[in-house]
Structure 1
């Protein structure tokens, strides 16, 4: 399809690799998050905190390799579909966390910053799942190795922008509007 098809799968790969680095560096932070989420039984906190980081790293790195090498449809599907499944599972898990913790502020423990669990974090998981499926199923005919340099640059830039926008979604939503906009009362007072 388009040279941008690899950007979709690559963006999910970048987000997963970034999350895995945090989970691999600090599995204890993930365990604390799982405890605060109150969804999984206590006996699963340690196994999940040990498996999630490596799983994200392997799938994320594989998605990047597939995206950057212009692998055929079969390879894209082989990586993209489990990546979509993991992303969807994480979205559903965080949705359950929101239900269980009802109004409490609990850490996301997503490996992508310190934002609390929010609807934006659930949305991010859903977006990642859609990007993974779209990237994996439109991979037929990828020609990254024969594409003009300008097209490859656009695809890589799109991959980076998609990854950053998706990864930072919950953190951006967590910033109070008052910190983003100057205080209007203060501005009006200074013009008098």
Structure 2
């Protein structure tokens, strides 16, 4: 297995599990977000809020297993491609939310914090989809001349960094406006 596949699938798995934890802990928060977004039909919101967490859990566990169990291309594809599809649908959905809300801030309800829907949430979903697809597609044999456990350790460390960076992308952009203004102090000197 190249180092790329476990790193990408591990990162995707960690983000999926973190999101699933948020959705399983509070399906009402997801439903509130869906209500505020107004794109999912009213009759489907309850089902989405109850099913998304378990789906994310299954895909997250599969991605982590594919990352840590060695060269199993079938498992990597099974974990990577449905995860990529989920994130592609999410990116398209969030794009529809942006259009329908016309700039009005609405909660992302992504299970990863309180960031509102914005271009960075769409970018995060698209980026995670690409990571999942690439992680599933690049699974193969171990690189010649390296011990599999050494590659795996490096790959999982990279996965952790990728997962944290990707999960925090919208939150990093949501810097309060008050911190962006420079305050000047008049020290009473000559003008």
- Using structure 2 for the length normalisation, give the TM-score: 0.91
Call closer, same or farther: CA 1:152–1:190 in 2, change over 3 Å: farther
Larger radius of gyration: 2
Aligned-pair RMSD on alpha carbons?
1.9
Measure the CA separation in 2 of the matches of 1:191 and 1:53.
59
Q: Residue 48 of structure 1 aligns with which residue?
A: 48
Measure the CA separation in 1 of the matches of 2:153 and 2:147.
13
Unmatched runs of 5 consecutive residues or more in structure 1: none
Measure the CA separation in 2 of the matches of 1:166 and 1:110.
13
Q: Residue 184 of structure 1 aligns with which residue?
A: 182
Measure the CA separation in 2 of the matches of 1:130 and 1:88.
8
Post-superposition Cα deviations, 1:74-121, rounded to whole Å, max 9, x if no partner, equal 111111100000011111101100000011110000000011011100
1:147 aligns with 2:145: no
4+ aligned runs moved over 6 Å, structure 1: none
Task: State the aligned residue count.
Answer: 187
Measure the CA separation in 1 of the matches of 2:160 and 2:21.
17
Measure the CA separation in 2 of the matches of 1:191 and 1:32.
52
Q: How far does residue 141 in structure 1 lie from its aligned partner after superposition?
A: 1.1
Call closer, same or farther: CA 1:132–1:185 in 2, change over 3 Å: same
